[in-house]
Copies of this chain bind each other. A is one copy, B any other.
Amino acid sequence: MRRAWIISTGTELTLGQAVGTNAAWLAAQMAELGIRTERHVTIPDDEIAACEVLLQAAGACDVILITGGLGPTADDLTRSALAQAAGVPLELHAPSLEHLRAFFAARGREMPPANRVQALVPRGAGVLRNRCGTAPGLRVELQRTPCYALPGVPFEMRNMFAHEVAPELRAANHDAVLLSRRLHTCGLGEADIGMRISDLMQRGRNPEVGTTASFGIVSVRINAAAPTRAAAEVQLQAEEAELRRRLGPAVFGRDEDTLASVVGRLLASAGQTLCTAESCTGGMIGTLVTDVPGSSQYFRGGIIAYADAVKEGVLGVQRADLEAHGAVSEAVARQMADTAVSLFGSDYAIAVTGVAGPAGGTERKPVGLVFIGLRTPAETTVHEFRFGSDSPREAVRIRSSWTALNLLRLSLQGAPPART
């Protein structure tokens, strides 16, 4: 399989004043063309750095893409870096100059003199047409490795890649395609998953399997390389089936699925409705649920019961329970879920009360202690979690929200959750 490097230029990128998205977009496009991107390098607007990285790339891969530095100002240095790396001079390219003049004429303006440099190309280079702007792209061979220089403006870059670069790379493709899929899990630790699938994660295996974790959601990534799209698809299917077999009900979705979108589909297809009663999550579960377009079909609403007086006055939690057990307790989570269902007339409710921190923790009720009440048409269960007394506030809130949605998901899928 051909290997690519992607080089992004721009001092605003290296200084962190902007997040570059070109490299990720290009890498995904390359994968579909059966080309595996092995490195992204981001450099400032600096001709020497650009020349050095171009030559390093030429010795290490089969296709180089470089974005940015093709504009008309003093910090646009990709043309001259390419010429230097190729060991050729820059020359005026007459058709490009004509294209530039026509671009401005079509907008009723004369071409500013500064734009003339955009018609300079390294001797022998191919010129890639820019349908959306002034900067033409370039195609140069560096030590026999093809190198495509594209504009940095994402819109122009994508258009040029699609029209000028992808067809050429596709035509040159005599080997494999690389297809990917992600499975998302909740409820198992990353190490636990790693043990269950360690043989599938062995290096050098195809399909390749890897994991990433974030606040209790562990995603398993499958990359399958094969001579044809159909063959790669078969490999993905088989690998997904094997992973699902090993990870069981912890798998809640794949690719763009979220816990909230999966819960939404399950509720909608069952014709059932949901409401929320949130304390420490402060509306986060409602926000996640309503992130999903069409959530009005199954989500009725919720109460953010932040102050204890609201738990008592609006949610009807017994003052005796608040006094005897505290707001963060099994009894209060249960009443929050039960009252919410009556108040909102829904089939399901999730209720959360916990200590998000950083203050408010005690020895008996440390930061990270969270009770999640789940009311279903059949019963109300309450689940106790300890998300770690050293966890930051944000982590406790996100874990609480995802765990609550996951409990609801398991219940809707008919998996009996453990009771407290």
CB distance from A280 to the nearest CB of B (A): 8
CB distance from A358 to the nearest CB of B (A): 6
Contact check: which of B41, B132, B305 meets A392 at CB < 8 Å? B132
A220's nearest neighbour on chain B, judged by CB, is B73
Interface size for A (C-beta < 8 A) is 126
Contact check: which of B10, B24, B293 meets A357 at CB < 8 Å? B293
A49–B40 Cα gap in the complex (Å)?
12
A343's nearest neighbour on chain B, judged by CB, is B314
Stretch at the interface among A81-89, A139-147, A203-211: A203-211
Q: Is the interface of A mostly helix, strand, loop or mixed?
A: mixed
CB distance from A107 to the nearest CB of B (A): 5
A198 touches B286 (CB 8 A): no
Say whether A108 faces chain B, with CB atoms less than 8 Å apart. Answer: yes
A29's nearest neighbour on chain B, judged by CB, is B16
A307–B388 Cα gap in the complex (Å)?
36
Say whether A418 faces chain B, with CB atoms less than 8 Å apart. Answer: no
A131–B223 Cα gap in the complex (Å)?
32
Stretch at the interface among A120-128, A186-194, A232-240: A186-194
Write out, one digit per residue, whether chain A residues 141-180 have a CB within 8 A of any chain B CB (1) or not (0): 0000000000011010001000000000000000000101
B293 touches A286 (CB 8 A): no
Chain B residues near A301 (CB, 8 Å)?
303-307, 310, 314
Stretch at the interface among A30-38, A244-252, A262-270, A404-412: A30-38
B201 touches A73 (CB 8 A): yes
3 nearest interchain CB pairs? A282-B290, A283-B286, A16-B27
